[in-house]
């Protein structure tokens, strides 16, 4: 145990009156006051937290994986491999069409799926998780019975193939897949270009790659798929544009995509939710630890702007929801931030920020990913679990040597704060407005009133050096019955019964569970 003296000052305002926690000094100097209001900011379902499972990583098949998913409390698995998703055909063993953008488009041409849809479904069932599936929008044979050994040139995705997938999943195999997304990051299919900027294009063989064409095709997909199973929900690919950056060229183009898609006649009735991807820190070029951790504040303005657009587009009695289908602090240029305490605290604070600002689900990228930067010591792995990869790296002195990740299935730091997140959200419920006053701006807090009546107060200290005092006053009629704490270097979160933390160590977090007395 650290010899550092840990003092604490959190004041949590009552939903109905305030009763001081035993031993807490009201208004302790220098502390942060956390006020939980009665205003509900969002309703969160029980299956709100998921992970992506790209089919190019083989370790979803590992026998230990379902248990690791359950231990993390993850309730949704997303069948999404990024760009290659729009090359994938669920039949014939899950073969891939050739990439219409050629062999140099992100290496997609060289991929072979390590598992197919049935294997994915088997793992989801073993882990007691529901499934979300992205269907191929970009490429496909016009005849779904085509011989996969001679696919020929890729043709546009076919609604009949998507409908056949729904039939196979829900009528033949009885998997009960509710959520289906049309395509994957289709807005990056090359319909716009920016001088001097080059990046891989998402596979899309449609001759018309415009947002209007995507919207029209979504309507056809939805009609075909819901004719098979009217109970499914259809997701559309939208961009979470930043209203604070109206002149950014990519941001401006993505706003045009969203507006055009949502204003297409018939689209609002066909779509049930928008699938948006959240790499705001990466695309804002925020690379320092402090910048990455502070970027979680961007979720509010961005999602509120998206919510307003969706509300304008939604028809009477039909509300288009928001699913954050991918989220991480980095995208293509991962560093060890994603594997360590920075990534861990970002996951907890960011995902709660997204949920309390309108998202009904957040799917982390990814369960297994593998290291991205293999030429320097700053390799990063966007997975919650290690893929056990080895590679040649250059250390700070310029010396080359072999670097290896921990063994396959070893949790990285974000896995442990994922456990805290899912504990706080267990069973779903409502997020409550929570204000922090006093203390440092690196201290954040969130509150959930769970469906069973439990209050979960989550406090995050994003300061790498300073212990932050917090003084917690319990709402009248509640008692603290369990507290989870995690700090940099810890493995599984520590649990204490009936005790309220009095301070948060540097780079640490706490989840305080309050039960109604009775």
Which of 418, 390, 388 lies closest to 491 in space, CA to CA? Answer: 418
Least confident stretch, 23-37, 42-56, 327-341, 448-462: 23-37
Claim to verify: residue 416 and residue 472 sit in the same structural domain:
no
Claim to verify: residue 82 and residue 213 sit in the same structural domain:
yes
Residue 148 has pLDDT above 80, yes or no: no
Residue with tokens 């977090």: 509
The pLDDT of residue 63: 97
User: Is 235 contained in some domain?
Assistant: yes
d(CA 30, CA 502): 13
User: Is 165 contained in some domain?
Assistant: yes
User: Is 232 contained in some domain?
Assistant: yes
Q: What's the pLDDT tens digit per position in 91-106?
A: 867 888 889 988 878 7
User: Is 391 contained in some domain?
Assistant: no
Q: What's the pLDDT tens digit per position in 485-507?
A: 999 999 999 999 988 888 999 99
DSSP 408-441: TTPBPHHHHHHHHHHHHTTT-EEEEEEEEESS-T
Claim to verify: residue 432 and residue 416 sit in the same structural domain:
no
User: Is 512 contained in some domain?
Assistant: yes
The pLDDT of residue 378: 57
pLDDT band (50, 70, 90) for residue 402 = confident
The pLDDT of residue 12: 28
pLDDT band (50, 70, 90) for residue 447 = very high
Rounded percentage of the chain residues whose pLDDT exceeds 90: 67
Q: Which of 235-244, 400-409, 430-439 has the highest mean pLDDT?
A: 235-244
d(CA 377, CA 392): 9
The pLDDT of residue 6: 22
Claim to verify: residue 25 and residue 105 sit in the same structural domain:
no
Residues composing the chain: 518
pLDDT band (50, 70, 90) for residue 10 = very low
What is the DSSP code (8-state) at residue 358? T
The pLDDT of residue 2: 29
Residue 236 has pLDDT above 80, yes or no: yes
The pLDDT of residue 155: 62
Claim to verify: residue 312 and residue 263 sit in the same structural domain:
yes
Rounded percentage of the chain residues whose pLDDT exceeds 70: 88
Q: Which of 381, 401, 422 is the endpoint of a domain?
A: 422
The pLDDT of residue 141: 57
Q: What's the pLDDT tens digit per position in 253-269?
A: 999 999 999 999 999 99
Claim to verify: residue 310 and residue 235 sit in the same structural domain:
yes
**pLDDT mean over 228-235:** 98
φ/ψ of residue 113, rounded to 5: -55, 135
d(CA 359, CA 376): 36
Claim to verify: residue 328 and residue 263 sit in the same structural domain:
yes
Domain span including residue 227: 47-370+409-422
Claim to verify: residue 30 and residue 117 sit in the same structural domain:
no
Specify the CATH number for the domain of residue 237: 3.20.20.80
Contact assessment for residue 238 and residue 274, using Cβ atoms and an 8 Å cutoff: yes
The pLDDT of residue 462: 97
φ/ψ of residue 301, rounded to 5: -60, -40
**Bigger pLDDT: 114 or 193?**
114
The pLDDT of residue 8: 25
d(CA 306, CA 249): 18
Least confident stretch, 3-7, 151-155, 184-188, 428-432: 3-7
Strands 443-450 and 455-461: what pairing? antiparallel
Claim to verify: residue 80 and residue 194 sit in the same structural domain:
yes
**Bigger pLDDT: 24 or 142?**
142
**pLDDT mean over 54-61:** 97
φ/ψ of residue 272, rounded to 5: -105, -25
**pLDDT mean over 296-312:** 96
The pLDDT of residue 376: 55
Claim to verify: residue 59 and residue 195 sit in the same structural domain:
yes
**Bigger pLDDT: 34 or 81?**
81
Record the pTM: 0.91
The pLDDT of residue 5: 22
The pLDDT of residue 111: 87
Claim to verify: residue 296 and residue 433 sit in the same structural domain:
no
Residue 348 has pLDDT above 70, yes or no: yes
User: Is 288 contained in some domain?
Assistant: yes
User: Is 390 contained in some domain?
Assistant: no
Claim to verify: residue 36 and residue 71 sit in the same structural domain:
no
**pLDDT mean over 454-464:** 97
Residue 339 has pLDDT above 60, yes or no: yes
Q: What's the pLDDT tens digit per position in 195-219?
A: 777 777 899 999 999 999 999 999 9
Residue 352 has pLDDT above 90, yes or no: yes
SS3 content of the chain, % helix, strand, coil (to 5): 30, 25, 45
Chain centroid to CA 381: how far?
15
The pLDDT of residue 93: 72
CA angle 139, 145, 148 (to 5 degrees): 60
| Total structural domains within the chain | 2
Residue 370 has pLDDT above 80, yes or no: yes
Specify the CATH number for the domain of residue 484: 2.60.40.1180
* Average predicted confidence (pLDDT) for the chain: 87
Contact assessment for residue 421 and residue 349, using Cβ atoms and an 8 Å cutoff: no
The pLDDT of residue 189: 94
pLDDT band (50, 70, 90) for residue 390 = confident
**pLDDT mean over 272-290:** 89
User: Is 462 contained in some domain?
Assistant: yes
């Amino acid at each position: 145990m650290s010899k550092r003296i840990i003092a604490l000052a959190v004041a949590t305002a009552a939903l109905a009156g305030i009763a001081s926690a035993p031993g807490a000094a009201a208004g302790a100097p220098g502390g942060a006051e956390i006020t939980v209001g009665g205003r509900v900011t969002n309703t969160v379902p029980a299956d709100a937290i998921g992970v992506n499972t790209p089919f190019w990583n083989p370790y979803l098949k590992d026998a230990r994986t379902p248990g690791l998913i359950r231990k993390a409390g993850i309730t949704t698995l997303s069948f999404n491999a990024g760009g290659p998703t729009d090359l994938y055909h669920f039949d014939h063993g899950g073969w891939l069409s050739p990439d219409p953008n050629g062999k140099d488009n992100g290496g997609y041409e060289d991929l072979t799926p390590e598992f197919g849809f049935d294997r994915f479904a088997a793992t989801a069932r073993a882990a007691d998780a529901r499934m979300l599936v992205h269907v191929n929008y970009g490429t496909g044979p016009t005849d779904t019975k085509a011989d996969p050994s001679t696919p020929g040139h890729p043709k546009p995705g076919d609604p009949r193939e998507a409908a056949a997938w729904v039939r196979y999943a829900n009528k033949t195999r009885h998997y009960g897949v509710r959520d289906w997304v049309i395509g994957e990051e289709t807005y990056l299919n090359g319909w716009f270009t920016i001088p001097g900027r080059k990046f891989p294009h998402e596979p899309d063989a449609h001759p018309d790659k415009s947002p209007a064409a995507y919207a029209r095709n979504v309507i056809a997909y939805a009609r075909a798929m819901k004719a098979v199973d009217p109970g499914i929900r259809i997701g559309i690919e939208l961009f979470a544009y930043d209203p604070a950056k109206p002149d950014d060229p990519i941001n401006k183009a993505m706003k045009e995509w969203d507006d055009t898609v949502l204003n297409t006649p018939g689209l609002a009735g066909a779509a049930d939710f928008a699938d948006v991807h959240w790499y705001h820190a990466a695309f804002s070029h925020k690379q320092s630890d402090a910048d990455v951790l502070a970027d979680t504040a961007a979720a509010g303005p961005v999602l509120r702007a998206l919510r307003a657009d969706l509300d304008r587009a939604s028809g009477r009695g039909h509300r288009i929801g928001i699913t954050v289908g991918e989220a991480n602090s980095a995208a293509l240029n991962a560093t060890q931030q994603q594997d360590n305490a920075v990534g861990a605290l970002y996951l907890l604070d960011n995902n709660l920020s997204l949920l309390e600002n309108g998202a009904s689900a957040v799917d982390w990228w990814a369960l297994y990913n593998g290291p991205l930067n293999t030429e320097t010591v700053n390799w990063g792995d966007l997975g919650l679990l290690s893929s056990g990869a080895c590679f040649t790296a250059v250390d700070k002195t310029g010396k080359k040597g072999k670097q290896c990740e921990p063994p396959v299935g070893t949790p990285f730091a974000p896995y442990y704060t994922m456990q805290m997140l899912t504990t706080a959200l267990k069973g779903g419920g409502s997020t409550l407005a929570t204000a922090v006053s006093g203390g440092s701006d690196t201290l954040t807090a969130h509150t959930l009133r769970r469906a069973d009546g439990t209050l979960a107060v989550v406090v995050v200290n994003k300061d790498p050096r300073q212990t932050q005092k917090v003084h917690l006053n319990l709402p009248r009629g509640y008692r603290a019955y369990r507290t989870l704490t995690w700090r940099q270097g810890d493995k599984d979160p520590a649990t204490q019964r009936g005790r309220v933390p009095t301070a948060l160590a540097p780079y640490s977090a706490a989840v305080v569970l309050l039960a109604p007395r009775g």
